[in-house]
């Protein structure tokens, strides 16, 4: 195993490497420093459909021929698009690495972006959006983000909507590709059966095949949240179960109390034995799962609770969750809970670094999301040094029970009245049909 390091090459593209000879496999990730936040208003989904089209028409080949070439190398290539980045992820056996690198050069630098394949991809995307309406959890998450980050790029859907995808043209895609596919916009990560010199050579070949340009500058403002407790009912007929999300703005890794809030969240709802799970599932049996999450990104994201009780339990469940939040903020956590969380996080951290891909992935996140230096390498020491006062101050400072976004997917006529009554000091209520296009 080698230490992960960053090397700046003439292409200005950082190259991260984690060597492991355990298996004759190499994983490669090539990321662009920006993602769906680049989508113009009214063209949501453009980044995702552009980069999926690049993957399917690379090297001026058809999708079938390209897939055959990838398979012949014992390899796989996928692409994912988030708000803040685009990542091409590939894995190959070591003996095919040079040919695989040639293929990556062709995919990223010579996509045909064919009109025929673009049409297929639009139809597939529209079908995916339609199918997504059948997944209540996904539906709830989408609406929660839309309302939590209303007016901010984080509130816009990465996949787009049926209206925006239908309106996209191949010219839109070609222009977006030219805007973002430049060497200055890339970050490389290699893991597995590869050394630094070879990784840097491959990165240089790929970067050099792309045109020079300007590194994308993230000018997105920090999100804000409307005051008060706001309720959104996503009305879906004939639902016997609900999906409930409750949250507020969270934290950013650059905040000096970010890790303290992470520890506090572990105690509140971050594990199967946390407070939230104990109260909602173990004591009352209202929901099979009850969790809280605190993701990070280049900008502040949302802190949220997620439960999925049956419709008749939705109102008391919402009331309980708000009560638990208020108590968590008012009273904080105990020394016993802190000690347990420190032991849990220290021991479980081994699973976050047990492969070369995971280790290089941590350095990759630091590079892409602007995490503080040593965010991952000093994680255990920082958790173990955390004090009770630091954790409780972070909870009180960052979590705002008086300002909450509450989203419930269910049948409105069965649940709306009870849920409204269950939320003290409710400032706003809105009901939308589940199939509403935004």
Instruction: Write out the two tokens for 13.
Output: 């593209």
Q: Quick one: pLDDT at residue 438? A: 66
Q: Is the pLDDT of residue 147 over 70?
A: yes
Q: What percent of the chain has pLDDT over 70?
A: 97
C-alpha–C-alpha distance, residues 97 and 189, integer Å:
14
How far apart (Å, rounded) are the C-alpha atoms in residues 6 and 3?
10
What integer pLDDT is reported at residue 61 of this predicted model? 94
Strand order in the sheet with 426-433: 290-293, 302-307, 243-249, 404-410, 229-235, 426-433
Inform me whether the pLDDT recorded for 7 exceeds 50: no
Distances from the Cα of 245 to the Cα of 231, 265, 326, 405, angstroms: 10, 16, 16, 8
Q: What is the mean pLDDT of residues 37-59?
A: 96
What CA–CA distances, in Å, run from 70 to 11, 41, 56?
26, 35, 11
Q: How far apart are CA 286 and CA 315, in angstroms?
A: 11
Which two structure tokens, joined as six digits, stand for 40?
A: 């113009």
Specify the pLDDT at position 12: 62
Q: What is the pLDDT of residue 192?
A: 97
Domains and CATH numbers, the chain: 5-209 (3.30.830.10), 229-433 (3.30.830.10)
pLDDT at 2 exceeding the cut of 50: no
Q: What is the DSSP letter of 378?
A: T
pLDDT tens, 374-418? 999 999 999 999 999 999 999 999 999 999 999 999 999 999 999
Please give the C-alpha separations between residue 55 and each of 28, 37, 171, 426, in angstroms, as whole numbers: 15, 20, 17, 47
Mean pLDDT of 67-71: 96
The helix/strand/coil state of 144 is: helix
Give residue-wise pLDDT tens across range 320-372: 999 999 999 999 999 999 999 999 999 999 999 999 999 999 999 999 888 99
Q: How confident is the model at residue 158 (pLDDT cuts 50, 70, 90)?
A: very high
Over the stretch 260-297, which tens digit does the pLDDT of each residue have?
A: 999 999 999 999 999 999 999 999 999 999 999 999 99
Paired tokens of 269: 């709802």
Helices then strands, counting H and E runs in the chain, come out as 16, 12
Give residue 232's pLDDT.
Answer: 98
Query: How sure is the predictor about 215, in pLDDT bands with cuts at 50, 70 and 90?
Result: confident
Q: CB within 8 A of 434, min separation 6: which ones?
A: 133, 139, 234, 235, 236, 409
**Cβ-contact 168, 45 below 8 angstroms:** yes
pLDDT at site 3:
39
Query: Across residues 223-228, what is the average pLDDT?
Result: 94
pLDDT of 10 > 90? The answer is no
């Amino acid at each position: 195993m080698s230490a992960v390091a960053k090397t700046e090459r003439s292409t200005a593209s950082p190259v991260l490497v984690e060597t492991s000879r355990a298996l004759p496999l190499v994983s490669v990730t090539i990321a662009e420093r920006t993602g769906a936040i680049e989508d113009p208003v009214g063209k949501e989904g453009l980044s995702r459909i552009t980069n999926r089209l690049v993957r399917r028409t690379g090297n001026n080949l058809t999708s079938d021929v390209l897939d055959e070439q990838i398979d012949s190398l014992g390899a796989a290539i996928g692409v994912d698009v988030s708000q803040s980045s685009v990542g091409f992820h590939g894995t190959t056996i070591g003996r095919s690495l040079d040919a695989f690198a040639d293929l990556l050069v062709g995919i990223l630098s010579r996509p045909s972006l064919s009109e025929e394949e673009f049409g297929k991809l639009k139809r597939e995307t529209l079908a995916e959006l339609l199918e997504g309406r059948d997944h209540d959890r996904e539906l709830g998450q989408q609406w929660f983000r839309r309302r939590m980050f209303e007016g901010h790029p984080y509130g816009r859907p990465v996949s787009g909507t049926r209206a925006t995808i239908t309106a996209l043209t191949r010219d839109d895609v070609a222009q977006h590709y030219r805007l973002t596919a430049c060497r200055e916009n890339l970050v490389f990560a290699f893991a597995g059966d590869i050394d630094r010199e070879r990784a840097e050579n491959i990165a240089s070949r790929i970067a050099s095949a792309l045109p020079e340009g300007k590194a994308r500058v993230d000018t997105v403002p920090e999100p804000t949240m409307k005051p008060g407790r706001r309720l959104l009912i996503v009305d879906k007929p004939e639902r016997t179960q609900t999906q409930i999300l409750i949250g507020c703005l969270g934290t950013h890794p650059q905040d000096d109390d970010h890790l303290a809030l992470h520890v506090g969240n572990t105690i509140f709802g971050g594990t199967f034995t946390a407070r939230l799970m104990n109260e909602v599932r173990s004591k009352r049996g209202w929901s099979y799962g009850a969790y809280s999450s605190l993701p990070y990104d280049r900008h502040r994201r949302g802190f949220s609770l997620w439960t999925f009780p049956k419709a008749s339990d939705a109102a008391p469940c919402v009331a309980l969750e708000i009560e638990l939040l208020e108590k968590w903020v008012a009273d904080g956590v105990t020394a016993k809970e802190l000690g347990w969380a420190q032991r849990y996080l220290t021991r479980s951290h081994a699973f976050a670094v047990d492969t070369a891909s995971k280790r290089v992935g941590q350095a990759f996140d630091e590079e892409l999301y602007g995490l503080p230096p040593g965010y991952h390498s000093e994680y255990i020491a920082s958790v173990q040094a955390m004090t009770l006062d630091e954790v409780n101050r972070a909870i009180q400072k960052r979590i705002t029970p008086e300002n909450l976004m509450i989203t419930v997917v269910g049948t409105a006529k069965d649940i709306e009245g009870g849920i409204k009554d269950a939320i003290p000091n409710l400032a706003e209520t809105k009901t939308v049909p589940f199939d509403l296009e935004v």
